[in-house]
Structure 1
Amino acid sequence: MKFTLHKTDVLSKARAGSIETDHGTIQTPIFMPVGTVASVKGVHQKELREEIDPDIILGNTYHLFLRPKTQILKQAGGLHKFMGWDRNILTDSGGYQVYSLSANRKIKEEGVKFKSHIDGSTHMFTPENVMEIQRVIGADIIMAFDECTPYPCDYNYAKRSMHMTHRWLDRCIDHLEKTPFEYDYAQSFFPIVQGSTYKDLRRQSAEYIANAGAEGNAIGGLSVGEPADELYAMTEVVCEILPEDKPRYLMGVGTPINILENIALGVDMFDCVMPTRNARNGMLFTAHGTINIKNKKWEDDFSPLDEMGTTFVDREYSKAYLRHLFAANEYLGKQIATIHNLGFYLWLVREARKRILAGDFREWKDRMVKQMDKRL
């Protein structure tokens, strides 16, 4: 993997760059649509390629391990071939999913023993077997196995957890060196900064992760319920330490405003289920604010879904029609809303890139934050 930093904004720390992998170029900043179980929910790969057009999507090790199972993915020749996606893929290691299964898992130094949310079967994730699973899945970028701490989190617990995440990282690196690539392309490895919302722990973790010398670095354990100002404070602390010549990935973030503010702090990569999950509930993100399409006010509004939108659904369907689909509980409504939201998120990060390169990112970002912080 090769990362090139093209420009840094003068009035902020926003960066425009590019990542080269065997599956193509990723222009940063980038938002990665979440394709948890080899599918971006509600969207065909053709629509994903031609309308939303992301350079990279995200899959999840925990979910793919449980189904379709790694042996099926290996027989298919990896996740790219299995799902018919020839661009980049990143896989989360499953640490967040294990965190979310707090009632059905037990964390030890060896790893995490957990029960499947599907059938209750018992499994064990260790740094070693998670690396092996991600080799078989075959994503272009794979993540270290870590523990994602909850919010709020006791300082001593956060400290113990951080040190265990660091020990797990060392085990991940050692095992990767013994585990060759499964397919005819390379994989890049990103470790994850932890430390909850404690600045001293975040600094310590960022230094440890930076010293690992990986091809990119991630910031985890945020967007788990903490206030936005805590999110930004932790991101700022970490970005001051992580190397400038490596991509920085903020995991699981967030709202359009969160994304712009974190771009301004020096983050390059994002993922979040929010655009797809909110779409299925009738919430549409736009450059001028958020629309609840279920509201009666849209019942006789025959204007295009989004005059500024970049996808075909924004031009071809009206607000009134989409409201009708939701009122009638037609799944097409959820699909239309999902395509719109993902299209908007990709437009947002690409416009941010253009503004960074043009030199007016800060002014544009401040204006967009004010516009988007409205309920229409």
Structure 2
Amino acid sequence: MHFLVTSVDPQSYARTGQLLTRRGAVQTPTFMPVGTQATVKSLTPDEVRQTGAEIVLANTYHLMLRPGVEVIEAAGGLHRFTGWQGVFLTDSGGFQVYSLAPLRRITEAGVTFRSHIDGSMHELTPEFAVELQLRFGSDILMPLDDVVGYTESQRQREAMERTHRWLQRAVHYFHERTCEQAVLQRPLLFGIAQGGFDIQLRHESLAFVASLPVDGIAVGGLSVGEPKPLMFELLEALAPSLPHDRPRYLMGVGDPEDLWNAVALGIDLFDCVHPTRLARHGSLFTRQGRIDITSARFRFQFDPVDPTCDCVTCQHFSAAYLHHLFRARELLGLRLASIHNLRFMQRIMQEIRTSIQRGCFQTARRAFLDAYRDGAGREERHG
């Protein structure tokens, strides 16, 4: 047993839990900062940990191309190579092959693709994706899946069924490689449910993945260009069928509003580049909505960006100083903004967990969304 449900909201599908890994328990619901190339851009592992993060995502596609699995393995694995001592989840690289590779060919064997870095050809199979992640020393592994874009509706069933066959191969290879490890000492393997925006296919995929000996269920193939209401319509339809005994992971979603709404539909894990990417462009989260710190109105604001925030940025620096850093294109601005946005995300997750435990999740959710949307409207008018 690698997942314990600790409390359930009586008015929604929201719940709290503990994801038990070989590097300790992760409190859920939780948000994973994205360290695509084994780094959360511009931040040290200690700075990431100080935001409250317990788990970081890295990506197999990028790491296999650079620095290469041989380097990471020789260093003693991802944790020793990077200095991050929390949990590492590694994505399989399927989405990056879909979105980045200038040339790719999908067959029953796997995916052949050309590197976006130097044009070299590579092959990624379900077995090799697992092998790479085991050699990385990942704590949670994601299997290779056949990712389909929002507009490719005619290929959804084909891609779903191939994803299922690939998952069976990944599960077999994973258990073959880890069978001699103690249950609490081995890494975890999740499965990915696909099916596009066809509710029937989605239920079929969810049932298939849940029938296999996987440690968690990921909802893949979302946040691929579809309208956001469509994504939540799909999640709402799936919510009653999500397995109770394993963590549910919504891949690639990380807007503050989306976290509250997806947790209400039973999601436990999230990841997204959104908070840090926005931060590097001067867009910061506050309880009253997102702000553009480069706006002239912050030039003489000597209070913190968010007076309620306990991050290093808000405790020690003013909005005027951050405004100056971004205007002057100083790298410190990117770092301080990233720290703030990641801490904001972790504060949200703590608030969500506490509200579920206290039985007031829906009240807290409405209060947050009302304030955040109202503040976003004011910021738009300022802009």
| Identity among equivalent pairs (%) | 43
What is the deviation of 1:371? Answer: 1.5
Q: Deviations over 1:4-50 (max 9, x none)?
A: 1011101111011111211011000000000111111111112112x
- Asked if 1 retains the 8 angstrom alpha-carbon contact of 2:101 and 2:116, the reply is no
Give the deviation of 1:186 after TM superposition: 1.2
Unmatched 5+ stretches in structure 1: none
Taking the TM superposition and a 5 Å limit, the aligned residue runs for 1:156-167 are: 156-167=154-165
Shift >3 Å, 4+ stretches: 180-185
SS at match of 1:54: coil
SS at structure 2 position matched to 1:302:
coil
Please give the secondary structure, in 2, of the residue aligned with 1:103.
coil
Shift of 1:158: 0.7
Residue 178 of structure 2, aligned match among 177, 180, 189:
180
Q: Distance in 2 between matches of 1:292 and 1:120?
A: 37
Is the contact between residue 102 and residue 116 of structure 2 (CA under 8 Å) also seen in structure 1? no
**Could you tell me which residue of structure 2 aligns to residue 126 of structure 1?**
125
Asked whether the equivalents of residues 135 and 182 of structure 1 are also in contact (C-alpha less than 8 Å), the reply is no
Distance (Å, rounded) in 2 between the aligned partners of 1:66 and 1:183: 29
The alpha-carbon deviation at position 182 of structure 1 amounts to: 11
Give the distance between the partners of 1:310 and 1:273, measured in 2 at CA. 22
- One-letter code aligned to 1:224: V
Q: Deviations over 1:42-96 (max 9, x none)?
A: 11112112x2121111111111111111111111111111111111110101011
Matches for 1:333-344 after TM superposition, within 5 Å:
333-344=333-344
Alpha-carbon distance in 1 for matches of 2:56, 2:180: 20
1:113-138 Cα deviation digits (max 9, x unpaired): 11111111110001011111011011
Give the TM-score, by structure 2 length. 0.95
Alpha-carbon shift at residue 181 of structure 1 (Å): 8.0
**CA shift for structure 1 position 242:** 2.5
Find the counterpart in structure 1 of residue 249 from structure 2.
Answer: 249
The correspondence of residues 1-376 of structure 1 with structure 2, limited to 5 A, is 2-49=2-49, 51-101=50-100, 103-154=102-153, 156-180=154-178, 185-373=185-373, 374-375=375-376, 376=379
CA distances 1:238-280 after superposition (whole Å, capped 9, x unpaired):
3322210110000000211011100000000000000000000
Q: Is this contact kept in 2: 1:16–1:356, CA < 8 A?
A: yes
CA separation in 1, counterparts of 2:239 and 2:54? 23
- Distance in 1, matches of 2:111 and 2:100, equals 11
In 2, Cα distance between the equivalents of 1:91 and 1:187?
11
Q: In the alignment, is the contact (CA less than 8 A) between 2:28 and 2:268 conserved in 1?
A: yes
TM-score, L = length of structure 1: 0.96
Q: Per the alignment, do residues 183 and 283 of structure 1 end up closer, same or farther by CA in structure 2, a change over 3 Å counting?
A: farther
Asked if the contact 2:61/2:92 (under 8 Å) is kept, the reply is yes
Q: Over residues 205-244 of structure 1, what are the superposed CA-to-partner deviations in whole Å (9 max), with x where a residue is unaligned?
A: 1111111131111011101111121111222233322210
Contact 2:105 2:112 in 1 (8 A): yes
RMSD over aligned Cα atoms: 1.5
Unpaired segments ≥5 residues, structure 2 = none
Aligned residues: 374
What amino acid maps onto 2:128 in structure 1? Answer: N
